Amino acid sequence: MTVMEAQQHPDVAAGLLTGEAYRLTVRDWLRNELPASYRSDSAAFSPPTLEQSIAWEAAMHRAGLSGMTWPTSYGGHGRTLREHLIVNQEIGSLAMPDSVNSIGKELAGPIILAIGTEEQKKRFLPAILQMRNIWCQGFSEPEAGSDLAGLRTRAVRHGDIWRINGQKIWTSGAARSQRCLLLARTGPVEDRHRGLALFAVPLDAPGVRVRTIKSIDGKESFCEVFFDEVEVAQSDALGAPDEGWAAAIRVLEIERATNRMYRAWRFQNELRHLISACKTDAVLAGLLADSHYAVRLAETVVDIEVLKAHVETAVDVLVDGGSIGARGSLAKLHWSEAHQRFAILAMELLSKAPLPLAPSVKVALRRFEGIYLASRAETIYAGTTEIQLGIIADRILALSKGK
């Protein structure tokens, strides 16, 4: 069966499986259907093209493995957050490519679910899950990176039309996206957090220009997006100004704790891959037996278990109807720094491999060079380390800033 032909497992579709049976079904489906060439721990690895990624993610959706918790009326599967966790654990356990539409599935979609009109939910949400629409996030600007309250892109209303002018930057995936979740200002810059509004801007609208930025890993995912007198229909405004942004902030807090929930299990997959590859080479296997590296690998294991504990606690809190608040910053801070430490360890170990490289070491080196470079962004995106520390100090410890 090809990826395109992969169909939803009938038992999963009928919602008949729970707990471990459900996990095993998900595991089997992923292992059977994920092409070897998409697995970065395989010698056959060849990064999927955009079209292949779209087909694969659409197949995952048909199999019931994305849009897990979204209502069925909007293309979701109406499952619980615990089942979402199970699917993420299984996704993480495979060296699978990241979604090309994570902004749509994990940011725009939940925001639209929270504040969108019924018409918007029906128009946007199934298209996201079916991979007909890829979304990007237009929040950061040249003068407003972490400090979103300082953003300058303006949206001015003229009847049923909003006219948008400004510039966004670090907009990952804009060149491949159909829609941009745009944050713009309806009043003066001095209003700071007031007057911010969200829009679902079609990127093929006249006046939108996208320019890619090459990043340190050689990829051109980052983009600058320019808006010059871009007209956006009122039907593409998400929530009212102020109201929309406040709701979005609440969604963002949950997302910080729950998005890419598979990270801890992918981290574990990476650690296991590193060790299994090193074991095929006598020199590297000798290093693994060295107590110095045993301790550093064990520290990574503890880091991973702590990350799992943060994620599972967040799920428990949300399932019990509690609020995550700023606590997503704890998991993000821990994960990003722990993963950077691990990437450094992986590069250090693999750099000691004798020549010629053993085939498995070559595969690992290709994967971990990419992981190392990508990890340098992990303490920057989704709120830098410094921003996360500030959030913890301000909102969790409630330390006074005053004199």
| Rounded-to-integer distance, Cα 103 and Cα 244, Å | 17
In angstroms, what is the minimal distance from the CB of 261 to another protein?
15
Q: How many residues in the shown chain lie near another protein by CB under 8 A?
A: 53
x/- mask, another protein, residues 186-225, rule CB under 8 A, reads ----------------------------------------
Strands 135-138 and 179-185, by their bridges, are: parallel
In angstroms, what is the minimal distance from the CB of 39 to another protein?
9
| Rounded-to-integer distance, Cα 201 and Cα 236, Å | 7
Give the residue with the Cβ less far from another protein, 140 or 336: 336
Matching residue, tokens 């998400």:
238
Give the residue with the Cβ less far from another protein, 42 or 69: 42
Under a CB-based contact definition with an 8 Å cutoff, are residues 273 and 364 in contact? yes
242: left (phi over 0), alpha (psi -120 to 50) or beta: left
Question: By C-alpha distance, which of 313, 304, 178 is closest to 258?
Answer: 313
Strands 208-212 and 223-233, by their bridges, are: antiparallel
Under a CB-based contact definition with an 8 Å cutoff, are residues 279 and 350 in contact? no
| Rounded-to-integer distance, Cα 288 and Cα 298, Å | 11
- Find residue 117's DSSP bridge partners: none
Looking at residues 91 to 110 of the shown chain, list those that interact with another protein (rule: CB under 8 A): none
Looking at residues 328 to 357 of the shown chain, list those that interact with another protein (rule: CB under 8 A): 330, 333-334
Question: Which residues, including other chains, have CB under 8 Å from residue 230's CB and lie 6 or more apart?
Answer: 163, 164, 165, 201, 205, 206, 207, 208
255 catalytic? Reply is: yes
Q: Which of 301, 323, 376, 381 binds another protein (CB under 8 A)?
A: 301
24 forms part of the interface with another protein (CB under 8 A): no
27 forms part of the interface with another protein (CB under 8 A): no
Q: Select the span of 37-45, 70-78, 79-87, 341-349 touching another protein (CB under 8 A).
A: 37-45
Active-site hit among 90, 106, 255, 378:
255
> CA–CA distance from 140 to each of 86, 378, 401 (Å)?
33, 16, 25
Q: Which of 260, 310, 339, 367 binds another protein (CB under 8 A)?
A: 310
Question: Which residues, including other chains, have CB under 8 Å from residue 177's CB and lie 6 or more apart?
Answer: 103, 134, 135, 136, 203
140 forms part of the interface with another protein (CB under 8 A): no
| Rounded-to-integer distance, Cα 87 and Cα 66, Å | 9
| Rounded-to-integer distance, Cα 398 and Cα 403, Å | 14
Length of the chain counted residue by residue:
403
Looking at residues 260 to 299 of the shown chain, list those that interact with another protein (rule: CB under 8 A): 272-273, 275-277, 279-280, 285, 288-289, 291, 293-299
32 forms part of the interface with another protein (CB under 8 A): no
Give the residue with the Cβ less far from another protein, 14 or 298: 298
Q: Coil, helix or strand for 325?
A: helix
In angstroms, what is the minimal distance from the CB of 246 to another protein?
24
In angstroms, what is the minimal distance from the CB of 252 to another protein?
19
In angstroms, what is the minimal distance from the CB of 26 to another protein?
18
94: left (phi over 0), alpha (psi -120 to 50) or beta: beta
Tokens encoding 45: 């690895």
Judge residue 287's burial from the number of C-beta atoms within 10 Å of its C-beta, 0-12 exposed, 13-18 middle, 19 or more buried.
middle
Q: Select the span of 50-58, 160-168, 255-263, 394-402 touching another protein (CB under 8 A).
A: 394-402
In angstroms, what is the minimal distance from the CB of 24 to another protein?
15
In angstroms, what is the minimal distance from the CB of 130 to another protein?
33
Give the residue with the Cβ less far from another protein, 178 or 313: 313
Q: Which of 28, 143, 228, 305 binds another protein (CB under 8 A)?
A: 305
Which positions are catalytic? 255
Q: Tell me which residues touch another protein (CB under 8 A).
A: 41-43, 272-273, 275-277, 279-280, 285, 288-289, 291, 293-299, 301-302, 305-306, 308-310, 312-313, 327, 330, 333-334, 358-360, 362-364, 386, 388-390, 392-393, 396-397, 399-403
